[in-house]
Amino acid sequence: MAVSTLNSDPPEAGGSSTVKGLKCRECGERYELAPEHVCGFCFGPLEIEYDYEVIGKTTSRELIESRAPNMWRYKEFLPLSGEATVGKQVGFTPLVRAENLGRELGLKELYIKNDAVNYPTLSFKDRVVAVALSKAREFGFKVAACASTGNLANSVAANAAEAGMPAVVFIPADLEQGKILGSLIYGARIVAIHGTYDEVNRLCSEIANKYPWAIVNVNIRPFYAEGSKAMAFETAEQLGWRVPKHTIVPMAGGSLITKYHKAYCEFQKLGLVDQTDFKVWGAQATGCNPITNAVKNDTDLIRPVKTPNTIAKSLAIGNPADGYYAFKVMKDTGGGGEDVTDEEIVDSMKLLARTEGIFTETAGGVTVGVLRKLLAQGRIPTDESIVLAITGNGLKTQEAIVGKVGEPEHINAKIEEFEALVGESGNPI
Ligand SMILES: *Cc1c(COP(=O)(O)O)cnc(C)c1O
Ligand SMILES: [Zn+2]
């Protein structure tokens, strides 16, 4: 029995050969594949259940490597019934060996999984949207929607445009220009709510009960969330089929970090990588730190932050849907969590740009900043492998660095003026 969240005709249930159905994370109740996200018995969140025996018989490193370089090379681990129809080219972003940043921080083996250059909208959200909208079409939905802190808005608007689906995108009104314009350009209907993200999300839950829309992170959430696993699968494959000892992941609702963990476990379970110990670390901004605050206080009771106040707006979720599960992943792997101030965020954005030539958004500054903090606390050994999940692009959050990266030097187009600028030595550097 599944609880219906739709008033119109229920979309058809589907099932790929590797997917068994939906399962409640709390009470274990099973459901057919449907656009549902809450257990009808205990109100726990629903998750995709796979048939790992079937996956084990069909996948191998060689098969995966023979496929095109995008996230669908792991399609057996993703919950579509047929081939992807939205976001067919998403994923397989670079895993960069960060020699310069590593040297600066005294680290032997540091990598950056760079989703700041994910296709098409420059954040890891293109992965979740590719799965959510492909699945929404399998279910027969005609309209795409989302509640977003910015990057999801960009990705739903862009991918829906390409798929020819009308889209309605809900955002808090105070987002960065880059995130707002980067949604409007695709012709989606953008609804800016005067309130926090949590208020936007609450409204979207009500809308999901009334309108037959695929709200990717509400009624399609179990499918949406699985898309995040591809970032971790790629990390392990690009590392030479191995799980890094430490992975640092930025947290908003806390979904991505749990899926990094799930993906590593799935690869281990199927023998695609060795069974090595790994630790997962979560990163937030101090101005909105409900999950890291719980981890630091060693309590799984996530106290919501009522009025988030940070430049890391993409992470500013005061009441994180997956906070409890994120907490568990950090505890169970022996990792942990930390948060950093706005000043530390900007400083770390600058450090990453100066050392590696990577311009990340504020969320990336959070991740790099938390690595520095954990190193200062001596919690991550300097000779072990570390991967930073860099999830978004700095061009979208330019407000954060205005006035903090200097100014260009202005002259007229005259050689004398240039030489006056560089001085007697004639050396411009
Ligand atoms: C959404 C987002 C995250 C985290 O997402 P959750 O899965 O909700 O924790 C991290 N980084 C960026 C840039 C994001 O947009
Ligand atoms: Zn349940």
Cβ of residue 363 lying under 6 Å from some atom of ligand 1: yes
Segment 350-362, tens digit of pLDDT: 999 999 999 999 9
Segment 387-412, tens digit of pLDDT: 999 999 999 999 999 999 999 999 99
Cβ of residue 316 lying under 6 Å from some atom of ligand 1: no
Q: Is the pLDDT of residue 123 over 60?
A: yes
Cβ(281)–Cβ(370) under 8 Å?
Answer: yes
Can you give the pLDDT at residue 16? 60
Quick one: pLDDT band at residue 423, thresholds 50, 70, 90? Answer: confident
* Portion of the chain with pLDDT greater than 70, in percent: 95
Q: Is the pLDDT of residue 19 over 80?
A: yes
Cβ of residue 251 lying under 6 Å from some atom of ligand 1: yes
Give the residue from 130, 326, 337 showing the smallest Cα distance to 228.
130
Q: Is the pLDDT of residue 12 over 70?
A: no
Domains assigned to the chain: 19-89+125-224 (3.40.50.1100), 95-121+228-401 (3.40.50.1100)
Give the residue from 387, 97, 384 showing the smallest Cα distance to 264.
387
Q: Is the pLDDT of residue 206 over 70?
A: yes
* Portion of the chain with pLDDT greater than 90, in percent: 93
265 CA to centre of ligand 2 in angstroms:
23
Segment 66-98, tens digit of pLDDT: 999 999 999 999 999 999 999 999 999 999 999
Provide the mean pLDDT of the chain: 95
- Distances, alpha carbon 236 to alpha carbons 126, 140, 179, 296, 356, in Å: 19, 34, 30, 28, 21
Mutate which of 114, 122, 124 to test ligand 1's pocket (most atoms within 8 Å of Cβ)? 124
Q: Is the pLDDT of residue 163 over 60?
A: yes
Rounded to 5, what percent of the chain is helix, strand, coil? Answer: 40, 15, 40
Quick one: pLDDT band at residue 426, thresholds 50, 70, 90? Answer: low
- E strands, 194-266, in order: 214-215, 246-250
Average pLDDT over residues 5-17: 46
Atom 12, ligand 1: which residue's CA is nearest? 391
Cβ of residue 252 lying under 6 Å from some atom of ligand 1: yes
